[in-house]
A = this chain, B = another copy of it.
Amino acid sequence: MAYELSTLNERKQKRREGIIRGAIVVIGQKGYNRTKIIDIAREANVADGTIYLYFDNKDDLLIKVFDETLEKRLNQLKEQIEPIEDKLERLDKFLLLHTDIYKEHPEELRFFALEARQSPEFYNRYPDFSPFSEYKKYVLELCKDAINSQKVRKLAPEVLANILLGTLEYNLVSWATGNLKLSIKNVIKQSIDIVHNGIVLDK
């Protein structure tokens, strides 16, 4: 009995994940508004009615997909960065890892950067347009730490964080939409170099 429940729950969990993956793929491709519930259902190999057993409505689906996937990616990043000692190196590593993740999941990139914000409920849920706030907070911490280390000029951390996040997002979106001439990894490395040069204490 307990065993059966467990498999039932497992099956449900699998189904839920399938729907989330389907949502990211289809929305990443077609955009939120052009994506019909039935499209996501087909991608996930379920009936459209089934989605409503797992999510309240289309907006709820979008927001849960957004939050859960973002959290997963952030944890993945933190895990790999924590072991690193050097504060400045941590920042570099963050940028490179972020690039690697979305290079491998361009549909997620499109989903996060372009499409997710098209949900009407998004505005009610994130009235200040801050769905990435956890992400930003983390980068801000990394920047503060770097600045507090002896290697970097005494800059406003938010200024640095926004340069990094802006550069990262802009280049990744350009790449994902086929508008980047150079290799994305290379561009990020060169960008890191420029910013390094711009923030390190005069040697």
Contacts and interface: CB of A to CB of B under 8 A. Distances in A.
Interface residues of A, number: 44
Nearest to A194: B198
A130 interface: yes
A169 interface: yes
Contact of A194 (B120, B181, B195): B195
Copies per complex? 4
A160 interface: yes
Contacts of A123: 31
Contact of A162 (B128, B167, B178): B167
A163 interface: yes
Contact of A120 (B34, B180, B190): B34
A163 B162 contact: no
10 contacts: A33-B120, A34-B120, A128-B179, A129-B177, A158-B180, A162-B171, A162-B174, A194-B195, A195-B198, A197-B199
